[in-house]
Amino acid sequence: RGVVCEVDAHDAPLAALALSSDAALLASASTKGTVIRVFSLPQATKLYTFRRGAYAATVFSLSFS
């Protein structure tokens, strides 16, 4: 049986999501494109917030390496 959690990531709709290969991290970006957030899973604890800038931008994809 899987673990279910709710991630309160952004006020705007999501534009991109990325899951790390071990499923321990989730990254998200909204359609505004000003902030990227990284959460630990399964607790959905916010670990990092990266501010890209004050002006909107289109985020097409996210990835972990």
pLDDT along the chain (65 residues), means of 10: 79 94 95 94 93 89 95
- pLDDT at 58 (0 to 100): 92
pTM of the model: 0.86
> Mind giving me the DSSP string for 3-18?
--------SSPEEEEE
- pLDDT at 25 (0 to 100): 97
Q: Residue 25 gets which letter from DSSP?
A: E
For 9, counting Cβ atoms within 10 Å of its Cβ (0-12 exposed, 13-18 middle, 19+ buried), the class is buried
State how far Cα 38 lies from the chain centre. Answer: 5
- pLDDT at 2 (0 to 100): 72
**Is the bond preceding residue 13 a cis peptide, omega within 30 degrees?**
no
